[in-house]
Amino acid sequence: MTSLVRIVLIDPSHPGNIGSVARAMKNMALEDLVLVRPRAFPHSESKALAAGADDVLDRARVVEDLREAVADCGLVAGTTSRPRHLNWDFLTPRDLALRVAGLAADTRVALLFGSERYGLANGDLDFCHVLVRIPANPDYCSLNLAMSVQLLSYELLVAREHPVSHTQVERELANGEQMELMYRHLARVMDYVGFEDRNGEGHLMTRIRRLFNRAQPDQNEVNILRGFFTAIEGTRRPARRGESGS
């Protein structure tokens, strides 16, 4: 299970934190580290604080876009301590570990950790299926990056030791790349039929993404939806200016 869990650090600003994360990962048998826009990497401070986890650092990938970091993942969990204004499925680290342990064995999972200064940005949430909140003292709930990674990684390691039922699916869960293609197709169809955000809040597509992320469709279900979108494109006349879909 842990071999298919990826730790994703978004905009890490301190190279020492990257090394400490690598050490925490190796302690808990995690190997897959992806860095999104790190300020400084590779760096001597990263290697020093890795304390022997150089192999994790050597395998780490650097990408410029979160979309690329999670493109092959069927479950994406973001860590946060802040309240969020849309409906979210908040899990504890233990809840998440049990959920991961219950997935089909070949499902790749990404755990997202935001910048040390401000955590996950709102745009990062578009890629998350669930959010994880670490229980802590409400008067002082500030955990550093490596601490957070260590806590989640520990729960994953423990959950791996306990057999659980696996979710039986007809096909694998749709990964990030497949979901992004579906969202682009849906946006095109919405424009084609003139369906717009009637409330004027600008959150329509964000809410749609949340709906599908909660549902976690498999690859077959995504193909069905895209076939439906294609049928709409082939049979519905384009909406004239001023018209809106129902």
- Are 37 and 131 in a shared domain? yes
Give me the pLDDT at residue 100, please. Answer: 92
Higher confidence at residue 237 or residue 212? Answer: 212
- Are 99 and 135 in a shared domain? yes
Task: Specify if 54 maps to a domain.
Answer: yes
CATH for 186: 1.10.8.590
Domain end: 125, 160, 195, which one? 160
Task: Specify if 166 maps to a domain.
Answer: no
pLDDT above 50 for 243: no
194 contacts 244 by C-beta, under 8 angstroms: yes
pTM, to two decimals: 0.77
Domain end: 108, 125, 160, which one? 160
Instruction: Render pLDDT for 127-177 as a digit per residue (tens, 0 to 9).
Output: 999 999 999 888 888 889 999 999 999 999 999 877 555 555 557 889 999
Query: Going by DSSP bridges, is the β-strand pair 32-36/75-79 parallel, antiparallel, or unpaired?
Result: unpaired
Dump the DSSP string for 83-147.
--SS---EE-HHHHHHHHHTS-TT--EEEEE-BTTTBS-HHHHTT-SEEE-----TT-----HHH
* Calpha distance 120→112 (Å, rounded): 8
- Are 45 and 128 in a shared domain? yes
Total domain count for the chain?
Answer: 2
- Are 148 and 220 in a shared domain? no
Closest Cα partner for 76 from 190, 153, 174?
174
Closest Cα partner for 9 from 35, 42, 43?
35
3-state secondary structure 27-78: HCCCCEEEEECCCCCCCHHHHHHHCCCHHHHHHCEEECCHHHHCCCCCEEEE
pLDDT above 60 for 103: yes
CATH for 135: 3.40.1280.10
Task: Specify if 167 maps to a domain.
Answer: no
* Calpha distance 212→181 (Å, rounded): 13
Task: Specify if 58 maps to a domain.
Answer: yes
pLDDT interval class at 1 (50, 70, 90): low
Tell me the residue range of the domain where 188 lies. 176-235
- Are 185 and 130 in a shared domain? no
Give me the pLDDT at residue 104, please. Answer: 84
Task: Specify if 246 maps to a domain.
Answer: no
Domain end: 127, 160, 193, which one? 160
Task: Specify if 218 maps to a domain.
Answer: yes
pLDDT interval class at 66 (50, 70, 90): very high
- Are 83 and 140 in a shared domain? yes
pLDDT above 60 for 241: no
Q: What is the mean pLDDT of residues 86-98?
A: 84
- Are 189 and 134 in a shared domain? no
- Are 129 and 222 in a shared domain? no
